[in-house]
A = this chain, B = another copy of it.
Amino acid sequence: MLPLVFIFLHVFSEDGYRLWLRYAPVENAVLLQKYQNQVKNIVLKADTPSLKAAKTELETALLKMLGIRPVFTETVEGRNNLVIELPDDFDVIKNNTGAQELQVIGNEGFILRQIKNENFIIVANSHVGLLYGVFRFLQILQQEQPLPELNVVDAPKTQVRILNHWDNLDRTVERGYAGFSLWDWFRLPDVIHPRYIDYARANASVGINGTAITNVNANAQILTPVYLEKVKALADAFRPYGLKVYLTARFSAPMELDNLPTADPHDKQVQDWWNRKVEEIYSYIPDFGGFLVKADSEGQPGPHNYNRTQAEGANMLADAVAPFGGIVMWRAFVYDQHMPEDRTKQAYNEFKPLDGKFRDNVIVQVKNGPLDFQPREPFHPLFGGMEKTNLMMEFQITQEYLGFSTHLVFLAPLYEECLQFDTHAKGKGSTVAKTIDGSLYGQKLTGMAGVSNIGTDRNWTGHPFGQANWYAFGRLAWNPYLGSREIANEWIKMTFTKNHDFVRPVKKMMLDSRETCVNYMTPLGLHHIMAAGHHHGPGPWVEGRRPDWTAIYYHRASADSIGFNRSSSGSNAIGQYHQPVAELFDNSKSCPEEFLLWFHRVPWDYRVKSGNTLWDEMAYRYNQGVNDVRTMQQTWNSLKDFVDNERFRYVESLLGIQEKEAVWWRNSCLLYFQTFSNMPIPDAIEQPDKTLEYYMGIRELYMPGHH
């Protein structure tokens, strides 16, 4: 049987659709035989949708990986059974798991363990937990790990692990660079594309358990019956995979849909409207997850319109969904162009005083940094700043400010850097991760959101390596303490090959790629100097009517200096951090150099740690970014023999774009900042071959993600 499978894999090209669920044939012959023995008999009663899904996944995966069709039974007999059951169903399980570990795994965790008689058990307290366990088991096989050594007791550390799709009802995707929205609203609810199921499978395979399917810049129409019927169809398709649906709630919906005179959260009519609307939603979707809300920001309506607080707005919605077990994810991304205050301080100023004022089923969703998904930001001071409020992390998976889907930038290091930052909120060791998993303050509701990079492109994420960011997000939402290296390792093996000669260089390329991007875009703490509107390509010269959307607001370059003084002598943004973090950031000498121009205004001839002037260092770093992209190209080109032709060529083409754009970034930023520094670009680096006027004249039209 096996040869068929192998031949199949070589005959047909890989288009990236299968993600990290490729289930490539096991190559190690010894392991292969052991695996085949281990899964010959599978004890699994597939009597619920989740267990049916688990069974189908096993059937598909084991045929492809091991070339066998296992026998599914309902009884344990003899040796070499794979037993997948709830704890009470079999003695073999009861005798091999303890009450305490069953408590540890909670409702979504699982135990994987080889026991005596060479039986292997997958145990969980719920059917979705069993499904998660099956996916983990298959991942172990995909990575060709020996089974006897396994003893996994794992459970997610956060509760709400959710993708945020900024998808509009016309199928455009705000900040989406992988085609258009997966949701085919026109054909819903009648047509359930197989892709919806594959989407749910991929999410379940990394433990993502929620999806907010509509844009935070919300459209009230999604709350009307004609759309709720469509949402229900998606929810029904996702349910077996433990994936709950959430919707974005437009705060002014009562006015727009039913002509109420107000959306004031204190207004009884408004409250009644939301109560009825929520009841209606749950009549379609009994396990509806709840609402995600962007209010009072960038033109979205919100409680400010009625002089109410963010807490009053959130609590009204929370009260409506509470009877049904729903939650409200309320975004902290609130800022106002009319506020004279440093934009990076505004969210903290707004939310800090509300600490303790939110309902138990509200969770405040905070972006990783205080600005807006830059290639590098310090952590958001609300992490560690809200003791009595449920807080969840919002990472951006889609690369709005990191080269869209044409740049290879592995984001796990960015996520990890943020999660491992020590807020010192309760003394040393108070990492950001601990502020969002409940371990620091004991919050009951925890979570992590990722702004999706998924679209209709055949490979889901536009860039084949964009899949790694979806994967990494899922893994970190499950366990915020995982390392980037481990995540990269898993992903590469499952997505490409287990061959060490491929894994090692690709892992290095991925792990370095974020710093490379920082270097060619925004080294030394520079931020928000992308082109206006679509945010693609350099725009350090961007001015405009709304200062907080310009580049010059952020870099403040002048003939003598550059950088935003957020120290105690400036906007005092550092004052929003606990000590000793505040002090560390406050002093330009102690401030980590990667945040230098974020927190400080520094003369061009300032000497950085390398001994270079700031100007020279900036030039070297920009150039280093370009060189590092070229190194990525060399690495990739040397690996042609390990990759199918289609994916090899696609990545090769994209790296070509990335190299051109890294040069574009370096040249235009150096030429532009040189008009202030008046210092020469060091001879040692490649000189710009075009003029500043040329670069400033580039206008990119019809950009994806910006409609």
Contacts and interface: CB of A to CB of B under 8 A. Distances in A.
A190 interface: yes
Contact of A170 (B650, B654, B707): B707
Contact of A194 (B4, B13, B221, B456): B13
A15 interface: yes
A250 to B, nearest CB: 14
A7 B701 CA distance: 48
Interface string A585-620: 000000000000000000000000000000000000
A90 interface: no
A629 to B, nearest CB: 14
Interface string A436-458: 00000000000000000000101
Interface string A168-195: 1111000001011000011100111011
Given A4-B8, A11-B8, A646 B194 contact: yes
A255 interface: no
A186 B704 contact: yes
A179 B653 contact: no
Majority secondary structure, A binding face: loop
A483 interface: no
A694 interface: no
A657 to B, nearest CB: 5
A406 interface: yes
Contacts of A646: 194
A703 interface: yes
Assembly stoichiometry (copies): 2
Interface in A196-246: 221
Given A8-B8, A170-B702, A187 B456 contact: no
Nearest to A456: B456
A190 B8 contact: no
A301 interface: no
A656 interface: yes
A243 to B, nearest CB: 21
B15 A194 contact: yes
Nearest to A704: B186
Interface string A58-86: 00000100000000000000000000000
A221 B186 contact: no
Contact of A656 (B8, B177, B190): B190
A190 B653 contact: yes
A179 B190 CA distance: 17
Nearest to A707: B170
Most chain B beta-carbon contacts within 10 A, residue among A8, A170, A187, A656: A187
Interface in A641-656: 646, 650, 653-654, 656
Contacts of A404: 186
Contacts of A456: 179-180, 456
Given A456-B456, A646-B194, A185 B702 contact: yes
Interface in A1-45: 3-4, 7-8, 11, 13, 15
B169 A702 contact: yes
A515 to B, nearest CB: 24
Contact of A653 (B192, B653, B654, B702): B192
A456 B646 CA distance: 18
Given A180-B456, A194-B646, A456-B180, A406 B187 contact: yes
Contacts of A701: 169, 221
Given A8-B8, A179-B456, 14 more contacts: A3-B4, A4-B7, A8-B11, A13-B194, A168-B702, A180-B180, A186-B404, A187-B653, A187-B654, A187-B657, A190-B657, A191-B650, A194-B646, A195-B458
10 closest A-B pairs (Cβ-Cβ)? A169-B702, A170-B702, A191-B653, A190-B653, A190-B657, A186-B704, A180-B180, A8-B8, A4-B4, A4-B7
17 contacts: A4-B8, A8-B8, A15-B194, A169-B702, A171-B180, A171-B704, A180-B456, A186-B404, A186-B406, A186-B703, A186-B704, A187-B653, A187-B654, A190-B656, A192-B653, A195-B458, A458-B458
